[in-house]
Chains A and B, each alone.
Chain A
Amino acid sequence: MDFTYDDEQVALREAVRGLVGKAYSDFEQRRRTVAEEPGWSEEVWARLAEMGILGLPFAEEDGGVGAGPAEVGIVAHELGRVLAPEPFLASVVLAGTAVAEAGTPQQRAEVLGPLAAGERVLALAYADGATPVTASEQAGAWTLSGTKEPVLHGARADLLVVSAALPGAGSGLFLVQGDAAARTGYRTYDGARAARVVLDGTAAVPLGEPGADQSAALAAALDTGRVAACHEALGAMSVALAATTAYLKSRKQFGVPLSTFQSLTFRAADMYVSLELATSIASWATMVLAERGPAAATEAVSRAALQVSRSGRHVGQEAVQLHGGIAMTAEYLVGNLTAHLTALDHLLGDGHHHLRGLAAAVDGHGALDPLAR
């Protein structure tokens, strides 16, 4: 078992850190970018495309780079460190993986190539809104009706990947042109963009074989997204801890630095423990996903998501508390990290959701063994 990154992976990390660090090392720049539509920088997106980041997880014949979950995790971690607002998770990881899993070779090439090139933004609409989305077919033409909400970056997306109940059983995945749907965009509390998407007999193209159940493909996309979200959270947590540590050393109260108060340094030490545990289990789940595939990785992904949920809340809450009032202000990084950690936690099923699943299966094994084949 080996948790270390190889030279190429380290080089990828440095390259991404260089790019997004330059763009967002000044938190004010990030604030300005997030304040304006679409909530992220088209320029940074284009640079990510040039670097091959937007095609990272896709096969070369589909216009991608042929890398895997470890590389996606590296990118997500770096984006999380600076709270880069670009829709890597929503567009590349979630929507892109759904297309890669469900699409025909032709569909994959047609959709993923332009996504990788930064020419087309995708969004995955999987959470049903007030009215669940259903699919209908007439003379080989498919239409969708219902509401999806919240759809991350759904208003800006050129192309929506929509899950819908099939006329028979199961769920299909469909491509819908963005402007064919009625979309209401809004800002989420962590500065991202989401939308309500209303479909009303809207024309849709089935991904893969028409009428086939694509539940597994959707599950694979969500699990792949969860692992990336874990890494994004780890990046945010590591910066929250570093900022807190620096603050404890520099901030004076009662004439001495806060770091002279043991009750505070002990709490920082516990934040470190939380971060280490989350790092270990997220790295492991990444390897399980990379080497055994999504179908075999479901439980590992849930385990990582549960720990990251616990750790993310702990680190985020303590970072704010140990900073005091300054962390409550929108202009200061730390509170924003906590807001983003909260959003990541709820995006793809929070700790409660994952614990429920794990608890239901708790008598299915004697002892967990991560070293077993």
Chain B
Amino acid sequence: MRLELTAEDQAFREEMRTFFTTEVPQELRDAVIEGRELGRAEFVQSQQILNAAGLAVPHWPEEWGGRGWSELRRHIWLEELQRAGVPAPLAFNANMIGPVLAQFASQEMKERFLPTTANLDIWWSQGFSEPDAGSDLASLRTTAVRDGDGWVVNGQKTWTTLGQYGDWIFTLVRTDPQAKKQAGISMLLIDMTSPGLEVRPIELIDGGHEVNEVWFTDVRVPGENLVGELNQGWTMAKFLLGNERVGVAPVGTVKRVLARAKELAGPQLEDPLVRARVAELENELLALELTAIRVAAHSAGAEPHPASSVLKLKGTELQQAVSELVLDLAGPASLASGAPDGPDGSDLPAWARRSAPTYLNLRKASIYGGSNEIQRQIIARTILGL
């Protein structure tokens, strides 16, 4: 057992901290820290700064821009990035389709897509969920039918996060309707400018436009856009969703928000109930962070540690609890969310006006990435053997 980081890891941490706080523009990080919605240009700007320094996709194979870091270093990288308020590399690119392509795609497809994916020249959308296939993903019904060299796709995807910015979408489609439901699924890459593809916004309870429906009506897709083998889609989906849980505990972000909540609390921090609530959250967050470090230190190879479900489950619970604390600190001021910025707007502070939309938006955290009920099922089955 050893408490401290090695001198090398400590130096690495300093290097990351310095980079994130000096190389990524302050105004971009302030937007994240204040909870403002970011546009496409801001995500692209941030990721390209990271990519130029080799910090956008450190967990990829080294051949494609990965750094060969230990899991601990990846944890440190992510935590420092979050604490500095740097927008994380777009998850659809960096954590989802990138690793899948690196693992399963042909050399030609890798060369075509991986560098542009790392640099966010292509903005990827995720086309997995359907109206009747959420956590039960294998029930999906969107079809791809052979037509000469290519495919014709029909169906509907939903909850396509930030799909309004998407250039390409990676989809799971049913290619063999006769096979058992997991066996007849393939992964197709689809250009979102294809005729017959339509993105329709879904309005959410926080008032923002974050997710979309994507409709496919006789969309023609070239045969070469099939990833890996025909009907191998389920294997790739499992690989992708397994990766999604790793690093999903937003420790750095929650820590930053909780520390800021103490500043924002002002005189309310004199209230012993508030103090106790903060202290309890801080303690749970510390326990979570230490668990994340334990999991990182014990992870071997590409296989996610089974306890990573703990991180998703507890991480999102804490993320929600901290947003709830900020909302409660704002109190009635949180109702002013509709006020415009500027001299004609509200006199109430921006953080208080953002607190309710943020709180409502974060209800999603325990639903996406494998709902927390799915995580409990994974723990019960794979760890406890129930």
Contacts and interface: CB of A to CB of B under 8 A. Distances in A.
Contacts of A367: 83, 255-256, 258-259
Contact of A245 (B83, B256, B384): B384
A1 B258 CA distance: 24
A370 B283 contact: no
B377 A265 contact: yes
Contact of A277 (B76, B256, B288): B288
Interface string A267-297: 0111011001111110110111011100000
Interface string B265-276: 000010010011
Interface in A1-23: 1-6, 9
B126 to A, nearest CB: 26
Contact of A70 (B1, B276, B386): B1
B284 interface: yes
Interface stretch (B25-33, B161-169, B289-297): B289-297
B283 A306 contact: yes
Contacts of B373: 266
A46 interface: no
Interface stretch (A48-56, A134-142, A358-366): A358-366
A330 interface: no
Interface in A172-209: none
A359 B272 contact: yes
Interface stretch (B2-10, B34-42, B139-147, B152-160): B2-10
Contact of B5 (A1, A70, A248, A366): A1
A362 B278 contact: yes
Given A4-B297, A355-B276, A368-B255, A278 B287 contact: yes
B282 interface: yes
Nearest to A291: B3
Nearest to B262: A363
A245 B384 CA distance: 7
B226 to A, nearest CB: 36
Residue among A249, A269, A280 with most chain B CB within 10 A: A269
B109 to A, nearest CB: 38
B379 interface: yes
A180 B284 CA distance: 46
Interface centre among A5, A288, A303 (most CB of B within 10 A): A303
A269 B384 contact: yes
Contact of B259 (A307, A366, A373): A366
A273 B312 CA distance: 11
Given A280-B291, A358-B279, A359-B275, A3 B314 contact: no
A113 to B, nearest CB: 28
A259 interface: yes
Grouping DSSP codes into helix (H, G, I), strand (E, B) and loop, the A interface class, with mixed when no group exceeds half, is helix
Interface residues of A, number: 51
Contacts of A366: 259, 262
A358 B276 CA distance: 8
Contacts of A356: 276
A77 to B, nearest CB: 13
Interface string B351-386: 000000000000000000000010111011101111
Contacts, number: 150
A371 interface: yes
Interface string B1-23: 11111000010010000000000
Given A276-B310, A307-B287, A367-B258, A4 B1 contact: yes
B313 interface: yes
Contacts of B262: 362-363, 366
Contacts of B172: none
Contacts of A362: 262, 269, 275, 278-279, 282
Nearest to A306: B283
A3 B286 contact: no
B282 A358 contact: yes
Nearest to A258: B386
Contact of B13 (A269, A279, A371): A371
B285 interface: yes
A368 B286 contact: yes
B278 A359 contact: yes
B72 interface: yes
B294 A3 contact: yes
A146 to B, nearest CB: 33
Given A272-B384, A303-B286, A358-B283, A5 B1 contact: yes
A1 B72 contact: yes
Given A1-B72, A245-B385, A265-B377, A370 B290 contact: yes
B307 interface: yes
A358 B287 CA distance: 15
A248 B386 contact: yes
B280 interface: yes
B287 A290 contact: no
A290 B379 contact: no
A279 B383 CA distance: 16
Given A4-B297, A368-B282, A265 B290 contact: no
A215 to B, nearest CB: 24
B188 to A, nearest CB: 34
A5 B386 CA distance: 28
Given A291-B4, A306-B283, A284 B290 contact: yes
Contacts of B383: 269, 272
Nearest to A371: B5
Given A355-B279, A358-B279, A362-B279, A283 B386 contact: no
23 contacts: A1-B4, A3-B297, A70-B1, A265-B380, A265-B386, A269-B377, A269-B383, A277-B284, A277-B288, A277-B291, A280-B287, A283-B290, A283-B294, A292-B3, A303-B286, A306-B283, A355-B279, A355-B280, A356-B276, A367-B83, A367-B258, A368-B285, A371-B13
Interface of A: 1-6, 9, 70, 241, 245, 248-249, 259, 262, 265-266, 268-270, 272-273, 276-281, 283-284, 286-288, 290-292, 303, 306-307, 355-356, 358-360, 362-363, 366-368, 370-371, 373
Given A268-B380, A280-B293, A370-B289, 10 more contacts: A1-B3, A245-B384, A266-B376, A266-B380, A269-B377, A280-B294, A358-B282, A360-B275, A362-B262, A362-B279
Q: Which 9 residue pairs are nearest across A and B when measured between Cβ atoms?
A: A280-B290, A287-B3, A265-B380, A367-B259, A269-B379, A269-B376, A277-B287, A359-B279, A359-B275
